[in-house]
Structure 1
Amino acid sequence: MALKCLIIDDEPLARETLEEYISKTPFLSLVGSCKHVFEAIEILQREQIDVLFSDIHMPEVNGIELIKMLQYRPYVIFITAYPNYAVEGFELDAVDYIIKPFSFERFFKAVNKCLTMSQQRNNKPANDQSKYLFVKDGHKLHRVLFDEICYIEAMKDYIKVVLKDRSIITHLTMKRVEDQLPQEQFIRIQKSYIININSLKYISGNMAELHDVSDKLPIGKQYKDLIFERFGLKND
């Protein structure tokens, strides 16, 4: 099924370029092309949009302010002439940040990320990309295999990805990373913790101990029954 797209840009040429590129991409379907935010909000209220292409500098309400207002956030790709907003864009979990003018190759690289994330969310294999995720740490982008992950910890606006030999702290929400993890391999044991089931050594009381790391992790009361049910056991 094609990903439903929405364009918001007050520049006609930018909208025309995106419309053309979307029409060339088999897994994308254009729902609307808007020149101002209020027109886009009407569409977002009645349509389930998968990918939102948004300019940043626009009259009345800019693209970043719009994303902050949305309760449900689609995959966001910022299209802008201003590179200085990149950090703020990625802090909103934007999938990509494209600087105008841009080529079809640059566009396709961005939307292909959305396709991969959507396939992983729906547990559909996307070649070998279903075996890892990318984690940004400063100016570095780490390719992390799922099998390397022991657990993931929420740290306010960041998460810590704990691997067998190191940890990576990145600006990402738990929900966004959970959507990228294979459900058959990972399970949430507490509001702030997701563990790799293959790393679980044992559960004692309300604590989980893992292989390869010395940390003992707390199990939330509301998650314990679900964990035991996952393993076909009763929480007596």
Structure 2
Amino acid sequence: MEKIRCIILDDEPIGREILQNFTEKIPFLEVCNTFESPLDVITYLQENEIDLLITDINMPHLNGVELVQSLQKPPFIIFVTAHRDFALDGFDSGAVDYLVKPVRFERFLKAVNKVSLYKKDTQKDKTLDTKTNIFLKVNGKFEKIILDTILYIEANGDYLKIVTEKQNYTILSTMKSFEESLDSSNFLRVQRSFIININSIQSFSGNTVQLNNGKTISISIQKKEELFKILGV
């Protein structure tokens, strides 16, 4: 089982110690750090990715709910507190679970098992959302094209020329609508009339790129910096 990377936040040392002892008994949990200050957690999350934040709610200066609400991309959350009255606020903040002190290990295990299931579902959704092919209407029928095989797309009036590793297709479409349908980070519109597959670039010099099939395409000044950033140069 893939480990769940987590951090623990509690302003009381005994609270942090109990939670850390619990996590050490669970093989699929990896404690990356513990904190007593919510502000330190904010700084840590700006530079590190974690799967789960286990946090107390009732803390001075910034409580756990306020902390979570301040995060742009919060991880999974388990709230731990001595105050049952905070439960509604906790779940309204998108928490996976809410544990009341003193926390029993069996109840803690149930909460992290729930996180594990949520994480698997999230990964499954990402896999399903990854687009690997596209259907093109060619000569009255729909042809399935593997996105990775497309070298470039060229606009020609009301038509587009789709050049793949094996053959070319001509379809009736606008560049904008086709660009939106690609839904892939591997493609970049380098000028008004061309979209290229980044992975098909063989070499580049000045304002031009050469693709694997020998095709040379010029890049607009506006897109040159973006392309270089993608290529890491």
Task: State the TM bucket, normalised to the shorter chain.
Answer: 0.5 to 0.7
SS of match in other structure, 1:183: helix
Deviation, 1:183, is 3.5
Q: Letter of the aligned partner of 1:77 in structure 2? A: I
Deviation at 1:33, TM superposition (A): 0.6
Tell me the secondary structure at the aligned position of residue 128 of structure 2: coil
Shift of 1:67: 0.5
The corresponding residue for 1:183 is: 128
1:117 is aligned with what amino acid? Y
> How far apart, CA to CA, are the structure 1 residues paired with 2:53 and 2:10?
11
CA distance in 1, matches of 2:65, 2:96: 13
How far apart in 1 are the matches of 2:100 and 2:70?
A: 23
After superposition, the C-alpha distances for 1:125-146 in whole angstroms (9 at most, x for unaligned) are xxxxxxxxxxxxxxxxxxxxxx
Q: Give the counterpart letter for 2:8 in structure 1.
A: I
Deviation string 1:69-112 (CA, Å, 9 cap, x unpaired) is 00011000000001111111111110000000011100000000
Q: Secondary structure at the match of 2:114?
A: helix
Q: Could you tell me which residue of structure 2 aligns to residue 99 of structure 1?
A: 100
Q: Tell me how far apart the structure 2 counterparts of residues 4 and 47 of structure 1 sit (CA, whole Å).
A: 10
1:46 and 2:44 equivalent? no
TM-superposed deviation, 1:182 = 8.4
Deviations 1:47-71, CA, capped at 9 Å, x for gaps: 1010001111111111011001000
Residues 55 and 78 of structure 1 are in contact (CA less than 8 Å); yes or no, is this contact kept in structure 2?
yes
How does 1:23-34 map onto structure 2 within 5 Å? 23-34=24-35
Find the aligned partners of 1:98 and 1:31 in 2 and give their Cα distance.
21
State the SS of the aligned residue for 1:122: helix
In the TM superposition, 1:101-116 aligns within 5 A as 101-116=102-117
Does 1:80 find its partner at 2:81?
yes
One-letter code aligned to 2:59: M
CA drift at 1:14 = 1.0
Per the alignment, residue 20 of structure 1 pairs with 21
CA RMSD of aligned residues (A): 2.6
The answer for unaligned runs of 5 or more in structure 1 is 124-178, 185-221, 227-236
Q: Are 1:37 and 2:38 an aligned pair? A: yes
TM-score by length of 1: 0.53
Percent of pairs with identical residues: 40
- Structure 1 CA distance for aligned equivalents of residues 3 and 46 of structure 2: 20
1:75–1:114 contact (8 Å) kept in structure 2: yes
State the secondary structure of the residue aligned to 1:39. Answer: helix
Return 5+ residue gaps in structure 2 as ranges.
130-176, 182-233
Match of 1:57 in 2: 58
Matched, 1:7 2:12: no
Moved over 4 A (4+): none
Equivalent pair of 1:32/1:43 in contact (CA under 8 Å): no
Task: Write the distance in 1 (CA, Å) between the matches of 2:67 and 2:122.
Answer: 24
1:148 matched residue in structure 2 = none
